[in-house]
Amino acid sequence: MPQQEPSTWRLVQVGLWAWLIPGAGHYALGHKALAAVFWAAVTLPYATGLAIGGAKNFVSPTANRWLFVAELPIGGYTVPAYLLSRSLDHHLEARRQRGEAVDLTEYVAYFPAADVAQIYLATAGLLNILAILDALSRAQYGEPTFHRDRRPTPEEPPPA
Amino acid sequence: MTAPFLPLLADATPGGSLGVLFVNPLPFPSGARLWMLLPLLLCVATVYRACRARHVRELPLATVLTFLNILVGMLLIAAGFYVLHLLVLKFL
């Protein structure tokens, strides 16, 4: 258990950091090495999925609503990617209005790349939920406690 | 709101800046689909184990064991479904 009960504001801060950037919540708590691990393990699948799928349809609440919901747990990545997606929509619409032919395959991945991109992006978002919950748990209760730690030692009689 | 991204799109050519990386999808060989399981599994195993770690030095071995557990489990499930598929084809 930590020495002092953390304030609600501190928990909100840690949660917000963890939501913005994977691992940032752990960094704020002083777990710098764990923060780097979380950052790498969540950023890698997110960046890979976005690179394979492209931002246009893969971070878009209109083109793929449920995927967008799964990506929302990483706010610091999803919000800029969503803005990029909107920019692309406007850009392509402007090109269409000028009478230019627009080849969507330049901007959108199709099967099988689309499947892989979707799985990677959704998994990254869901992994960051675990990272956020872990950061909040460490902020409130300290280090994880294992069942083996709670077993009575031979000298210590079991509680009645 | 979206204006800062428009200059980035102006020179959107394949193989360009980091922004372009997420604008134009990377070419993806269809044979790579199954192999993409491995890095994703490694990330899942890493996060799963990191949530239970007190120190980073506990992580490598635990992550590799979890990675192998998940991989073997998924291979067994795949093999089970393949056998079921063969049985259905044979008897139904």
pLDDT at A15: 95
| Residues of chain B with C-beta less than 8 angstroms from the C-beta of A40 | 46
- A34, A112, A120: residue with CB nearest B50: A34
Contact status, residue A79 vs residue A20, Cβ threshold 8 Å: no
| Residues of chain B with C-beta less than 8 angstroms from the C-beta of A42 | 43, 47
pLDDT at B86: 96
- A-B C-beta contacts closer than 8 Å: 105
Asked if A120 is an interface residue toward chain B (Cβ–Cβ < 8 A), one would say yes
How far lies A109's CA from each of A29, A49, A70, A120, B16, in Å?
39, 11, 19, 14, 18
**B2 to A86: CB separation less than 8 angstroms, yes or no:** yes
| Residues of chain A with C-beta less than 8 angstroms from the C-beta of B44 | 123, 127
Cα(B23)–Cα(A81) distance, integer angstroms: 10
**Along the 160 residues of chain A, how does pLDDT read in single tens digits?**
455 677 889 999 999 999 999 999 999 999 999 999 999 999 999 999 999 999 999 999 999 999 999 999 999 999 999 999 999 999 899 989 998 888 888 888 899 999 999 999 999 999 999 999 999 999 998 888 777 777 776 666 666 6
pLDDT tens per residue across span B79-92: 999 999 999 999 98
Q: Indicate the burial class of A72 (C-beta count within 10 angstroms; 0-12, 13-18, 19 or more).
A: middle
What's the predicted TM-score (pTM) here? 0.85
Q: Which residue of B has its CA nearest to A56?
A: B23
Q: Would you kindly state where each structural domain of chain B is located, as residue ranges?
A: 34-92
Helix axes A32-53, A113-141, angle to 10 degrees: 160
Q: How far separated are the first and last CA of chain A, in Å rounded?
A: 24
pLDDT tens per residue across span B12-70: 444 455 557 888 898 888 888 889 999 999 999 999 999 999 889 989 999 999 999 99
pLDDT at A153: 66
pLDDT band at B5 (very low <50, low <70, confident <90, very high): low
